[in-house]
Amino acid sequence: MYMSALNSLYRDMLNQHLDLQQFEIKQGAIIFDCLFSIRDIPFVLSLTTKGVDPKFFKFEVLKGFKINPYFKDFYFELAKVLNTGANSGNRLYPKDFLEQINSKIPIIAIEKNVPTNSEVIRLRQDIKEDRERPYFHCWRPWKEKAPTQDNLQKTLVLLGKEAYDYSIKMNASSCWIAENKNKNWQDK
């Protein structure tokens, strides 16, 4: 399904040199805290429900700003969240759901909607490494090992493509801490 709003938001993000945007979407009684990341390849739109027991849904935004309307990995969980399960009398139609989401996505990027690292980790439950440590601390070079895939993903999502490329080139893992010491990954 073509996501025209994501295409418009992407263009505005590029104009403002932004690579993350956080926004809310209300779908029935559910509020999704959303994150659109153009740091990821392919781009990622994540929806995390607000509330006591948040549920996380990750959509890859494919070339041409398309999202596959086949929710193989999370169809039943999303249906349950939306109260459209088999016993509800309602059914979740992925294409209709994506059309409704598309109609509510902002098309203008706002600098204050770039989330902090802590917010990104809260919104991206697929980041597995050191979730309690959102702040960059230093690089750890390797001789015989290499950064893990989880470390590389956290580096990409929290620091961006340039830091990710640096990590691979230098064969170094990003190290993280719980308290913000305002360290920049480019500092030596």
The predicted pLDDT at position 188 comes to: 63
For 15-32, letters b (16+ CB in 10 Å) and e give eeebbbbbbebeeeebeb
Q: Of 103, 98, 63, which Cα lies nearest the Cα of 78?
A: 98
Whether pLDDT at 140 is above 80: yes
The predicted pLDDT at position 162 comes to: 95
pLDDT single digits (tens) 96-122: 999 999 999 999 999 999 999 999 999
Q: Using a pLDDT cut of 70, give the percent of the chain over it.
A: 96
Average pLDDT, the chain: 94
Q: CA-to-CA distance for 20 and 4, rounded, in angstroms?
A: 17
pTM recorded for the entire structure: 0.91
Determine whether 108 is exposed, middle or buried from the number of CB atoms within 10 Å of its CB (0-12, 13-18, 19+): exposed
Mean pLDDT for the stretch of residues 141-165 = 96
Residue position matching structure tokens 């938001």: 9
Whether pLDDT at 85 is above 80: no
Question: Considering only 78-92, 98-112, 151-165, 168-182, which range has the smallest mean pLDDT?
Answer: 78-92
The predicted pLDDT at position 72 comes to: 87
Rounded to a whole number of angstroms, the CA Rg of the chain reads: 18
The predicted pLDDT at position 87 comes to: 63
- Residue 136 amino acid letter: F
Q: Of 100, 108, 120, which Cα lies nearest the Cα of 3?
A: 100
Structure-token pair, residue 166: 């640096």
pLDDT single digits (tens) 127-138: 999 999 999 999
Given pLDDT bands bounded at 50, 70 and 90, which one contains residue 89? low
Q: CA-to-CA distance for 123 and 81, rounded, in angstroms?
A: 17
- Residue 8 amino acid letter: S
Show the DSSP H helices in the chain as ranges. 4-15, 75-81, 94-104, 117-123, 149-159, 161-170
